[in-house]
């Protein structure tokens, strides 16, 4: 089945360019467009896309507010934030809102396509150059933080590795576990902490001080 995509951007030329790139892929189908956040909400309810490409700065209702409303819907789509503004506060706000990823519009077409496939598969798009700056500049870090009591010691280790951007395979290698076991731990962490995906897990780990920027 094709990945159903909705494009939300207030600039018609941008929407057209994104549609052209994505429609060229055999496994992706652009099912609709929206020119502001309100239109995006209505289109999602009508078209039920798998992924929404959401511009951050739009009239009527911006992308961050629209995403917050959207993720309250039953069975919401994955949201990939797009912007020309490489500003840390936008990245942080997007992740806290529940977006599955953040991509600059200056990214090459192949990265856009990969990003759509990544978030559609249930993963998060955490570009290292963006996420590292976000973590260091905009996430509060208590001096001392106790691990969440609902997590086991091993789950805390997995969460810390996950928050540093490690893949399941890399975590498995570091902790001498099978990749399937790591996947099980990650699922348990999400369930226990009521987290949507890896993006929210990163924000949680740094906000609570479980991981601190610049420290191993």
Dump pLDDT digits (tens) for 68-126. Answer: 898 888 888 999 988 876 666 677 677 777 788 888 888 889 989 999 998 898 877 76
The per-residue pLDDT for 145 is: 57
Q: Are 46 and 73 contained in the same domain?
A: yes
Q: Are 123 and 145 contained in the same domain?
A: no
Q: CATH number of the domain at 169, please.
A: 1.10.10.10
The per-residue pLDDT for 198 is: 80
Average pLDDT (38-61) is 91
Instruction: Say if CB 30 and CB 22 are below 8 A apart.
Output: yes
Smallest CA-to-CA distance from 153 within 190, 185, 116, 200 is with 185
Burial class (CB in 10 A: 0-12, 13-18, 19+), 204: buried
What distance in Å separates the CA atoms of residue 198 and residue 165, rounded to the nearest whole number?
Answer: 9
Q: Are 94 and 146 contained in the same domain?
A: no
The per-residue pLDDT for 213 is: 54
Q: In 3-state terms, what secondary structure has residue 150?
A: coil
Total domains in the chain come to: 2
Q: Are 86 and 177 contained in the same domain?
A: no
The C-alpha angle 133, 68, 41, rounded to 5 degrees, equals 125
Question: What's the pLDDT band for 202 if we cut at 50, 70, 90?
Answer: confident
Question: What's the pLDDT band for 216 if we cut at 50, 70, 90?
Answer: very low
Quote the domain boundaries for residue 108: 3-136
DSSP per-residue letters across 165-202 = T--HHHHHHHHT--HHHHHHHHHHHHHHHT--SHHHHH
Q: In 3-state terms, what secondary structure has residue 103?
A: strand
Q: CATH number of the domain at 90, please.
A: 3.40.50.2300
Q: Are 103 and 26 contained in the same domain?
A: yes
As a whole number of Å, the CA-based R_g of the chain is: 17
């Amino acid at each position: 089945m094709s990945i159903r995509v909705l494009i939300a951007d207030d600039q018609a030329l941008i929407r057209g360019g994104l549609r052209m790139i994505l429609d060229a892929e055999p496994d992706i189908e652009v099912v609709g467009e929206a020119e502001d956040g309100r239109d995006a909400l209505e289109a999602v309810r009508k078209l039920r896309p798998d992924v929404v490409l959401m511009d951050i700065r739009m009239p009527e209702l911006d992308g961050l507010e629209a995403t917050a409303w959207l993720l309250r819907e039953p069975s919401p789509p994955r949201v990939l934030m797009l912007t020309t503004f490489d500003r840390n506060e936008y990245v942080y706000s997007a992740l806290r809102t529940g977006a599955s990823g953040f991509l600059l519009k200056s990214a090459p077409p192949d990265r856009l396509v990969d990003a759509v496939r990544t978030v559609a598969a249930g993963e998060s798009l955490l570009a290292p150059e963006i996420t590292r700056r976000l973590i260091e500049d905009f996430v509060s870090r208590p001096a001392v933080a106790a691990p969440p009591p609902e997590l086991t010691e091993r789950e805390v280790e997995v969460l810390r590795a996950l928050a540093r951007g490690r893949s399941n395979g890399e975590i498995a290698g570091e902790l001498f576990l099978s990749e399937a076991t790591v996947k099980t731990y990650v699922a348990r962490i999400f369930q226990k902490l009521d987290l949507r995906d890896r993006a929210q897990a990163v924000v949680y780990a740094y906000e609570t001080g479980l991981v601190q920027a610049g420290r191993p």
